[in-house]
A = this chain, B = another copy of it.
Amino acid sequence: MTHFSLPDDLAIRGKNSGTIIMLVLDGLGGLPHPDTGRTELESARTPNFDALASRSSLGMLMPVGHGVTPGSGPGHLALFGYDPIESMIGRGVLSALGVGLALEPGDVAARLNLANVDVDGLVTDRRAGRPTDEDGRRVIGKVKGAIKAPDGVEVTLVHEKEHRAVLVMRGAGLGAQVGDTDPQRTGLPPVPAKARHPDSERTADIVRDLLEQTRGILSDEPVANAFLARGFAQYVRYPTFEERYGLRAVAVAKYPMYRGAASLVGMSVDGVPTSNEQTVALLEDHFGSYDFYFVHFKDTDSCAHDGDFAGKVSAIEVVDSLLPRVMALEPDVVIVTGDHSTPALYREHSWHHVPLLIASSWARPSAGEFGESACRGGDIGTLPGKDLMSLALAHATRLDKYGA
């Protein structure tokens, strides 16, 4: 696995150079509003981002490839400098790391949905009516107390949020080439777990057995009476940020998924913020103890998924209002970008390039605004996502000259 696009023998200069803060506004890139011709970011009042842009290198980030719409996993791996195609990892592993499970190489993880199935075995609700966290935890607890793991396999069940949970299997000879059991719509029976590769036959057998046991255990449970499993993935150890870049790194993120992606590359996670303000407060707490700070804001993406243009504009303005506190920490390099675009008009992740800003003493500024139009005329040009870290390290004067 070659993750890093720098020459192999390009040396990291040392551990006492510049600090880097990477602010990720999830789904930042947008499309112009038909009435104004301005995207969400261009519509937002962002005096702080704009002032920063006037002394930053700007560009457009291409997370995975031309025309490729990234999921959150590949989007973040690219931001962290890991080739998102070569180091593709399934959602199950990200979710397991996100809930704080310490995975070992070979572990197979999947996401579970609590669901309702009728007397004919057809799915009536793929999310069990979105139960409260309390109900969700209770149902998972019930299954944990009664389920029997097959010989030689350790089974872990953890409730995540509402109808979502995580399943982890540990043991020799497991494989993750197992198809989803979620039929994707109601009125169909769950899909029996099926191996897509002979390596995973035994794992598929185990999953079928566990899901069958669950049906029995939950037969009288009113909230949910079945699990749907998806996103089977096997954990492989990634080279860490410290190993690859010499950076002691920490992640500050409200949502488990993004803490999971950060853990995957060896970032520390210490504390879970519950608001944007707390996110910055936790960054302030950590500042000085690490070299690299990954800070994640989710609301931009959530609003865009709802088609809420104005909501995404506001979410951007909230982060802008917190920027002075970030800058007051006086980091050497500040990056502002997204893991992908989620245009409010498109209501989904999209393939469009993402605005990118890199502020440092060594920036080559071009325009006094942070937005898609200014960024596409910026100094950086179109940057493949996986190359962002090398640019960040350069601005932090953490890379040696290549060759004499």
Contacts and interface: CB of A to CB of B under 8 A. Distances in A.
Interface of A: 5-7, 9-10, 31-32, 37, 39, 60, 62, 64-75, 84-85, 88-91, 94, 231, 343, 346, 348-353, 362, 364-366, 372-373, 376-384, 387-395, 399-404
Contact of A392 (B67, B392, B403): B67
Given A60-B379, A68-B394, A377-B377, 9 more contacts: A7-B68, A7-B88, A10-B68, A31-B364, A66-B387, A66-B391, A68-B402, A351-B391, A352-B362
Nearest to A363: B31
A286 B273 CA distance: 58
A53 B148 CA distance: 63
Nearest to A392: B67
A72 B85 CA distance: 31
For the complex of A and B, list the 7 residue pairs with the smallest distance between their C-beta atoms, beginning with the closest.
Answer: A67-B390, A91-B404, A381-B382, A71-B403, A67-B394, A66-B387, A74-B403
Contacts of A353: 379, 381
Contacts of A9: 88
Contacts of A72: 403-404
A340 to B, nearest CB: 9
A382 B57 CA distance: 14
Contact of A378 (B71, B365, B376, B388): B376
- By secondary structure, the A interface counts as loop
Given A84-B403, A377-B377, A404-B90, A387 B67 contact: yes
A180 B39 CA distance: 54
A7 B77 CA distance: 15
The winner among A94, A353, A379 for most chain B CB atoms within 10 A is: A379
A224 to B, nearest CB: 22
Contact of A365 (B32, B62, B94): B32
A32 B362 CA distance: 9
B60 A381 contact: yes
A49 to B, nearest CB: 19
Contacts of A88: 7, 9, 403
B387 A65 contact: yes
B401 A67 contact: no
A346 B394 CA distance: 12
A391 B32 CA distance: 19
A75 B344 CA distance: 36
A394 B231 CA distance: 23
Contact of A69 (B31, B364, B387, B394): B394
